[in-house]
Chain A
Amino acid sequence: MEQFRVTPLIPLHIGGYDVSFTNQALVMCVIVGLISLFTVMALTKRQLVPGRMQSIAELTYEFVGNMIHSSAGDAGYRFFPFVFTIFVFVLFANVMGLIPGVFTVTSQIAVTFALAMLVILAVIVTGFIRYGFGFLKLFVPKAPLVLLILLVPIELISFLTRPISLSVRLFANMLAGHTMLKVFAGFVISLGGAGGILSVLSIAPMAMIVAISALELLVAVLQAYIFAILTCIYLNDALNLHESH
């Protein structure tokens, strides 16, 4: 489990808290640097007919734009920078974690839960700013009064569990994928070290690692997408009460 261990590189304490610069912090800084470099560099030329880098940046931009529009409508564009940042941050964190030896930021429940809470807080704040206490109508679906006794607690619980499901989904996916890779890698080493015919057999778990790596790449991108689209859907609750897009 040492690939999930947060180890301090530069010890640092502020106000009694241990806020050391860790391997995780280093990777997060690299992520921010890479994304900034990528998005800013891609647009230095501002070509009418985009080159490769510019195409990727534009595709990402339009992908997130479509995602917001399809799930939260025009009002959702106000949250474009927010959703875009969440998407690219999670995407880069997930994908970079696949590089052997690189710490996976999103395999930490603290990080995913903090991101999920940020989303839910954004939803709650937006909802109350937009609708005042009318935002509480979100928990009261259009149904007969008798059913409401049942439905309101359900809605309330489903809303309150959102940060948990949102964060645990990403965390567990990353954790499980990396653990699985580690387990198969362990097989390769123990089989290879066993000598004789068993050493030859170690090629089987090696092939599995290759296959799982491909799967994990898919999972990494998919989970970033899921995180971002759920963010949009939750924001839609705050922007358009009971109106689906």
Chain B
Amino acid sequence: MAEPAHTTAGTEVPAEPGGFPPFKTETYPSQLFWLTITFAVLFVVMWRVALPRLHSVVNDRKGRIDGDIAAAQKSRSDAETASQAYDAALSSARKRAQALANESRQAINAEVDKARAKAEAESAALMAEAEKRIGASRDAARQHVEGAAQDAAIAIVARLTGDQVAADEAVSAVRASQV
């Protein structure tokens, strides 16, 4: 290695095929020299160019997916809240409608009852009045009949017996016959 004028490994080997190529130390400086250069170049390219790009691509995708999942979850929870709100509104509206229906039913019932009571009272009054009138006309008719019967009784008695019957007697006789 220390002798620069020495022939290179490649030209030497055909002359002595017995040497095991990987152990030929005269090739080591060249191997290490080019390994250092190529590995250093590769390292810098990977470190500075390739890996940052890969990193950003992979992270962008991961961020995008995570963001999309988060957005989807938010939409779902929003939809759930909306549906809950809808259900609540629906049930409260239903309750109110029921209350209103009850109230109006009660109001109508009360009105109907009032109207019926009034009508009944009116008809009762009418009936009472009619009854009174009927009673009055019946009394009048009875008096009339009594008077006629009295007269008839007096006339009959006078014709049959010739006696003059007093009006009081006739009245009591008529009354007695009516019972």
Residues of A within 8 A of B (CB): 1-2, 4-8, 11-14, 16-22, 24-25, 28-29, 31-32, 35-36, 39-40, 43, 46, 48, 50, 54, 57-58, 61-62, 80-82, 84-85, 88-89, 105, 107-111, 114-115, 118, 171, 175
Contact = CB atoms under 8 A, between A and B. Distances in A.
Contacts of A32: 38, 41-42, 45
Given A17-B4, A17-B33, A25-B30, A58 B47 contact: no
Interface centre among B2, B42, B57 (most CB of A within 10 A): B42
B106 to A, nearest CB: 67
Contact of A88 (B24, B46, B47): B46
A61 B58 contact: yes
A8 to B, nearest CB: 5
Given A24-B30, A109-B23, A111-B31, 20 more contacts: A1-B17, A2-B13, A4-B22, A5-B9, A8-B9, A16-B3, A18-B26, A18-B27, A19-B30, A20-B8, A29-B34, A32-B45, A39-B45, A40-B45, A43-B53, A58-B58, A81-B51, A82-B43, A85-B46, A110-B22
B53 A48 contact: no
B117 interface: no
Interface in B57-73: 57-58, 60-61, 64
B21 A5 contact: yes
A1 B20 contact: yes
B38 to A, nearest CB: 4
The main secondary structure of chain B at its interface with chain A is helix
B56 to A, nearest CB: 8
B10 A40 contact: no
Nearest to A4: B21
Contacts of A20: 8, 10, 30
Interface of B: 1-4, 6, 8-11, 13, 17, 20-24, 26-36, 38-39, 41-43, 45-47, 49-51, 53-58, 60-61, 64
A40 B4 contact: no
A100 B3 CA distance: 35
Nearest to A175: B22
Given A29-B38, A39-B50, A109-B23, A18 B58 contact: no
5 contacts: A22-B34, A57-B50, A85-B42, A85-B47, A108-B31
Given A43-B54, A43-B57, A25 B4 contact: no
A84 to B, nearest CB: 6
Contacts of A5: 9-10, 13, 21
Given A43-B54, A54-B57, A7 B34 contact: no
Contacts, number: 161
Contacts of B61: 48
A199 to B, nearest CB: 28
Q: Determine the main DSSP class of A at the interface with B.
A: helix
B30 A40 contact: no
A22 B42 contact: no
Contacts of B11: 8
Contact of B42 (A21, A36, A175): A36
Contacts of A24: 30-31, 34
Contact of B46 (A11, A48, A58, A84): A84
A115 B22 CA distance: 15
A141 to B, nearest CB: 34
A197 B58 CA distance: 59
A88 B55 CA distance: 16
B29 A18 contact: yes
A8 B45 contact: no
A228 B31 CA distance: 21
A62 B58 contact: yes
A38 to B, nearest CB: 9
